[in-house]
Amino acid sequence: MGWTRFFRRASWDQERERELQTYLEIETGENIARGMTSEDARYAARRKLGNPTQIREEIYRMNSLTFIESLWQDVRCGLRMLRKNAGFSAVAILTLALGIGANTAIFSVIHGVLLSPLPYNDPDRIVLVLESNPTRGFPQFSVSPPNYIDWKKDSTSFEQIASIARGDFNYTGGAEPERISGARVASSFFAVMGVTPTMGRTFLPEDDVVGKAGVVVLGYGLWTRRFGSDPQVLGKSLTLDGQSYRVVGVMQDGFQFPRGVDLWLPSEFDADALSPGARGAHYLRVMARLKPGVSVDKAQSEMVAISKRLEQQYPKTNTGWTAKLLTLNEATVGNVRPTLLVLFGAVGFLLLIACANVANLLLARATARQREIAIRFSLGASRLRIARQLLTESILLSGIATGAGLLLAEWAIRALRTLPPSNLPRAANIGLDLPVLGFAAGVAVLTGLLFGFAPALQITRGAPSETLKEGGRTASAGRQGVRSALVVLETTLALVLLVGSGLLLKSFLRLQTVDPGFQYKNIATADVSLPRSKYSTDAQERQFFSQVLERIQSVQGVKEVAASSGNPMEGSNLSFSFATKDLEALSPSDQPSAGYYVVSPNYFHTLGIPLLLGRFFTPEDSAGRPRVAIISQTIAQRFFHNKNPIGQTIKIGVGAAVPVAREIVGVVGDVKDDGLGEAATMAAYEPYTQMAWSDMTLFVRSNSDPSQMASMLRSQVTSVDKDQPVADISTGDQLMAQAVAQPQLRTTLLSLFAGLALILASLGIYGVMSNTVAQRTHEIGVRMALGAGQSSVLRLVLSNGVRLTLLGIAFGSAGAFALTRLMKSFLFHVTPTDPATFVEVALFLFLVALLASYIPARRATRVDPVIALRYE
């Protein structure tokens, strides 16, 4: 027979039923023969046999595979319960799905961005070596070539150390000219990163030598895009900035370091780059691979010692400069970690609220099921069996919710993956992969147990006979206590989230209203960089830009056009030390530094930067005329005090060149080119007619939509030089939006989570209050029958809700007070304990909670005493 009986048990059961029926008939017949009435006879026969259903069940159970069987039973029963209470199930599943979905999505980000190892060989040993000058406000700064060379020579902590200098190159020879992002790297670079090429080789030490025929390693992306994955590409040459380079290798797929580069060239430091003055020219990024067993701290202290020696050796350029090590992980994702951790905390809170809410719903339903459970008890079900059944229902609920939550998470992840790396590094690495699914499963089981445990405990406690006697009208006081505690918990957590998002929102709004000091509406921008091979003289560069500006100006719809060496909308602009007459005695390392812009005369007008004193540049400020400069307001205030700076001189040390004095002809307003949240930086401007510059940004103000300017800009530039590419075409709106993208992202997400938390918490309050009203209908009826007015009933119910809310607000305020300091770095012009925010949020939450309890309270006042008393 074996396991096949499992499938035959239904027909067997029918046979048993007939068999038992036969027994009853025979026994009844005999009883009647003994002289009983037929009713007594039937009754006696039944008593003799026992409970036929129980007998059948016993036999039935003998045919079952008990554990799996009863689990399956529980699952089916659970599904039936969920279907039967569709409204309850929908609310519970939706609530949990939101909580689980949000947690899964944020965890997938944390896993993909923070936790999963970087895709390099042994990434923990890769470090970024920076120069640092805290006293001058540069905690992390680029490295100058001579310092790098000394580091390389003297350090013993590293297996390899490499310099990287990003650069853009004009690629010609394709269908149309294109600007390609690349990097000049030391030959040791690829060994530092631990990557190998798919084809060919990387650089050899002899490739680093200046003047040798150029070689290039292609990125995988460029190789597929521009060379159609040509397997014969090795040995071919390509033209970059007018010079020919031979392809020696193709890098492996997915390797793109620094971010966004498409090719690598060998680094070459000419005599200029290694001259004594060049120690002050910081532009290299330096990466190193630690020797096995050498800690970051140990390497750091070695580099600090070396820097100290250099400082003594070259006080003129190195005073105040020390070294700082960052792990690659820290350097890549360090700036988003605080945001992600705060968001993870927030979704954790949200999930707790969701759990509390569902636990509340289950408890409310438990009251209704009390009789069912009590009956099952009296029929002989064991406590464990019933608890298991209830927990199965809970886990089933969370299982379905997890399914829905995963859909939500997948949708959210798709949105997050489209974020540009500047907002979220490694975003492409985010996905619903195995660890994330594991996390979701863990969360599902945990939440199921969490919200199912209290009801299961409650419901299986207490004597069933009591419950049956109670008649299911009044809930025990204990359960009401648990439900109230849950509501207080929800309110507490919701308040913390609301305060957090309130602070961020306030910061963001304040950030939005900051005046950047320039106009960016209706402006299109584009970058043009002229190759030195083709534009070797200052005059050629000047002539090119003059022509381009002239041609664009003549296009219909263009109101203003200008060029500048820097774009204040993007940050990270050049900055050089400068000296007024009073400061000239100081060594260059002690002189203040300011942002530096080489601009066309129309620049200030185009960007709406106001003239405060003197004049703008004019075309007359040409190469042969006296050198002139315009300074920003802060320089004028800080270094010229009460004197009029117009007519005074300023010396600007551009690069390694000997500073030349310029006459100050104008003072303009400050611009916030370091970001809206930062203080305005000082800035000095020179006319491009006196200082030739090869990499310029074009600014076009027009009547029409600036995003339509791209093709016009391209065609005007190529009409001057058909080989000249235009890159990074963008609009002022886009660039400014990018600058606030990170605060915007965290503000949006945290506000979203806080909003959800508020909705869930008010649902919780509403649910509990409704339940209280329903359970106290009888009592309210009595009160009303005894003469209580509607307002006193309203007060009775409301006071209960208000009490819980106030408790939650009190706890929540304390919690928020303790937690918001973690967000200090995100806040702009708002303190973490901003009293106004706390009060506003508390008031807001209070009003919402009041509304949530008012609706059930209103219902209570409509109670008809007559009906309520008959309610039983």
Partner 1 sequence: MQADLLQGTLDLLILQTLVLGAAHGHTIAHVIEHRSDAVLQVEHGSLYPALHRLEDRGWIASFWGTSENNRKARYYRLTAAGRRQLAQQTSRWEQLVGAINRVLRPAKE
Query: Which residues in this chain contact partner 1 in the complex, by CB under 8 A?
Result: 1, 5, 15-16, 18-20, 22-23, 25-27, 29, 48-52, 54-55, 58-59, 62
DSSP state at residue 609 = P
Q: Which two tokens stand for residue 19?
A: 């068999």
The residues, ordered by sequence, that sit 6+ positions from 148 with a Cβ below 8 Å of its Cβ are 163, 284, 286
Which run of H or of E encompasses 560? strand 558-564
Which run of H or of E encompasses 414? helix 383-417
Q: How far is the CB of 44 from partner 1 (least distance, A)?
A: 12
Q: Which two tokens stand for residue 732?
A: 């002022």
Q: How far is the CB of 474 from partner 1 (least distance, A)?
A: 39
β-strands 126-133, 215-218 pairing = unpaired
Residue 15 or 705: which CB sits closer to partner 1?
15
88 neighbors 401 (Cβ within 8 angstroms): no
How many Å apart are CA 152 and CA 159, to the nearest integer? Answer: 10
Q: How far is the CB of 25 from partner 1 (least distance, A)?
A: 6
Residue 49 or 539: which CB sits closer to partner 1?
49
Residue 62 or 586: which CB sits closer to partner 1?
62
Residue 23 or 439: which CB sits closer to partner 1?
23
How many Å apart are CA 188 and CA 372, to the nearest integer? Answer: 75
Residue 63 or 95: which CB sits closer to partner 1?
63
Residue 52 or 472: which CB sits closer to partner 1?
52
Nearest to 247 by CA among 256, 258, 239: 239
Residue 19 or 433: which CB sits closer to partner 1?
19
Q: How far is the CB of 388 from partner 1 (least distance, A)?
A: 23
How many Å apart are CA 321 and CA 505, to the nearest integer? Answer: 38
Residue 61 or 259: which CB sits closer to partner 1?
61
733 neighbors 522 (Cβ within 8 angstroms): no
Per the document, the length of the chain is: 872
663 neighbors 629 (Cβ within 8 angstroms): yes
Q: How far is the CB of 63 from partner 1 (least distance, A)?
A: 9
344 neighbors 437 (Cβ within 8 angstroms): no
Q: How far is the CB of 1 from partner 1 (least distance, A)?
A: 6
How many Å apart are CA 354 and CA 763, to the nearest integer? Answer: 10
Q: How far is the CB of 5 from partner 1 (least distance, A)?
A: 7
CB environment 723-762: b (16+ within 10 A), e (fewer): ebbbbebbbbbbbbebbbebbbbbbebbbebbebbbbbbb
Q: How far is the CB of 385 from partner 1 (least distance, A)?
A: 19
Q: How far is the CB of 390 from partner 1 (least distance, A)?
A: 29
Q: Which two tokens stand for residue 153?
A: 């020579």
Residue 46 or 388: which CB sits closer to partner 1?
46
CA atoms 703, 704, 707, 712: torsion sign = negative
SS3 category, 175: coil
In angstroms, what is the C-alpha Rg of the chain?
38
Nearest to 144 by CA among 370, 304, 332, 321: 321
Q: How far is the CB of 382 from partner 1 (least distance, A)?
A: 16
Residue 49 or 679: which CB sits closer to partner 1?
49
Residue 45 or 489: which CB sits closer to partner 1?
45
How many Å apart are CA 60 and CA 13, to the nearest integer? Answer: 7
502 neighbors 830 (Cβ within 8 angstroms): no
CB environment 608-630: b (16+ within 10 A), e (fewer): ebeeebbebbeeebeeeeebbbb
Residue 14 or 229: which CB sits closer to partner 1?
14
Residue 30 or 678: which CB sits closer to partner 1?
30
365 neighbors 846 (Cβ within 8 angstroms): no
Residue 5 or 309: which CB sits closer to partner 1?
5
Residue 50 or 647: which CB sits closer to partner 1?
50
Nearest to 287 by CA among 331, 236, 243, 344: 331
Q: How many CA atoms lie within 13 A of 509 on its CB side?
A: 7
Q: How far is the CB of 37 from partner 1 (least distance, A)?
A: 19
Q: How far is the CB of 38 from partner 1 (least distance, A)?
A: 16
Residue 58 or 124: which CB sits closer to partner 1?
58
CA atoms 758, 845, 86, 772: torsion sign = positive
Q: Which two tokens stand for residue 130?
A: 């920076």
Which DSSP string corresponds to 89-140?
HHHHHHHHHHHHHHHHHHHHHIIIIIISPPSSSSGGGEEEEEEEEGGGTEEE
How many Å apart are CA 380 and CA 58, to the nearest integer? Answer: 13
Q: How far is the CB of 57 from partner 1 (least distance, A)?
A: 10
Residue 29 or 173: which CB sits closer to partner 1?
29
How many Å apart are CA 167 and CA 165, to the nearest integer? Answer: 6
SS3 category, 655: coil
Count of C-beta atoms within a 10 Å radius of residue 210? 11
